[in-house]
Amino acid sequence: MSHKRIGFAIVGYGLAAKLPAQALTQLDEAKLIAIVGRNIEKAAELAENFGVEALSLDEALRREDIQAFIVATPTGSHLEVVKEIAPRGKHLLVEKPLESNLRRTDELIRTCEEAGVILGAVFQHRYDDASLMLKEYKERGLLGRTVMGSAYVKWYRTQEYYDTRPWRGRVETSGGGALATQASHSIDLLLWFLGEAEKACGFMNTLAHTGIEVEDVAVASIQFKDGALGSIEASTATYPGFPERLEFHFERGSAIIEGGKIVYLNTLSEEIPVIERGQGGLSGASDPAGVDIQPFVRMLQDFVSALREGKNPPLDGREGRKAVELIEAIRISALESRVVELPL
C-alpha cells in the first residue's frame, strides 16, 4: 500500500463509532473519509461533528479513497456487514466482541481470509500505559511465571440503558450482557497475560433489570494451559459502578490495574519501581463514554502500519476470537452446570 494517507470509513454512528472517529483525527498517516449507516440522517449528525461525509454502505464501497472500514455496529450485525465489505477488497477493523457467538466469529474470520483482506479486532486496552508497561516487564523476565489473574468489572447500567437500545438485552444481537459487552476488554487482557484458557466454570443471572435475556451478574473460574488460575466477576447491576480492576500475581511480584493505570506494583526486581497508591484512570463504570482515547490511537497506528506492510496486525481476527471463545465457554458452563474444556 502506498504512503498516501489511508482512508477510513466508520460503519455505525453510536458510542462505539465516536471513539475511532476521534482517534483518527490524531493520526497523520490516516484520514476519516465518511460515516456509514442505514439511517443517513443519524450518520450525518456524527459526520458533521468531524467534517466528513455521510454515505450509504454501497456508496462507500465504490469510493477509491476509502481503503479500510471500522465496523462499529451492534455485535450481532458484524458478520453481515463484513460479508458486504470484504469481497470488495477493503480491509476491516471490527469492534469487540467480533460477533455474538463463536460460530459467527469463525465465519467472519473465514470471510476475510478468503477475500484476502486484513482483519483487526478492537481491543485497545492492550495499549493502555499499564498493560504495555506490565507486558514489557513480563517479557523481560522480571516477573517470572504468572500464577493468578483476576478481572473485576462491576459497573452500573440503568434500565433505560437497555430499554433505549433493545439489541443490548438480546444474546443474538449483543453476544451477551456484562461478560460480552462490559467485561470483554478485561477478559482479553487476562488471556493476553495468562495465555490459553483450558477449562472454564461459570455462573450468571439477571437480577436487577427487566425485559432482557442477557446476564447482569456473572462470575467465572478459569484454568489456563500452563496451570495458572483466573477469575472473572462482571456486572451491570452494581450501583454506583466501580472502575474495572485487574489483579495479576507473578512468581516475583503483584500488580493491580484500575481504569488502565497501575495503582499497585510490588516486585522482587530492583529494576521495577514500587507503586503503592497509584491513581486510577478513566473508566466506563457508570458512563459508557468514560474511555481514554490514547490507547485507541496507538492501536490504530499498529493497524495502519500493518496495512502499509501488507501483514496482519498484532490484534488480528484470531486474537480477537479468543475472548469470544472464553465467553462462550463460560456461558455454556452456566447454562449446563458443568466445567467446559477448551478449545471449543
CA-based torsion, 169, 170, 176, 181: positive or negative: negative
pTM of the full predicted structure? 0.95
Spatial CA neighbour of 165 closest among 102, 226, 74, 241: 74
Q: What is the pLDDT of residue 259?
A: 87
Distance of CA 171 to the CA centre of its chain: 17
* Cell numbers representing residue 28 in the block: 497523520
Q: pLDDT value at position 57?
A: 98
Residue ranges of domains in the chain, CATH in brackets: 6-124+294-316 (3.40.50.720), 125-289+323-341 (3.30.360.10)
Contact indicator for 153, 183 with CB cutoff of 8 Å? yes
The pLDDT value given to residue 227: 97
| Sequence-distant (≥ 6) Cβ neighbours of residue 159 within 8 angstroms | 209, 210
Task: For 1-52, list the strands marked E by DSSP.
Answer: 6-11, 30-36
Q: H/E element holding 235?
A: strand 229-235
Mean pLDDT per block of 10 residues along the chain (344 residues) reads 86 95 97 97 97 98 98 98 98 98 98 98 96 97 97 97 97 96 97 98 98 98 98 98 96 95 96 85 60 92 97 98 98 98 98
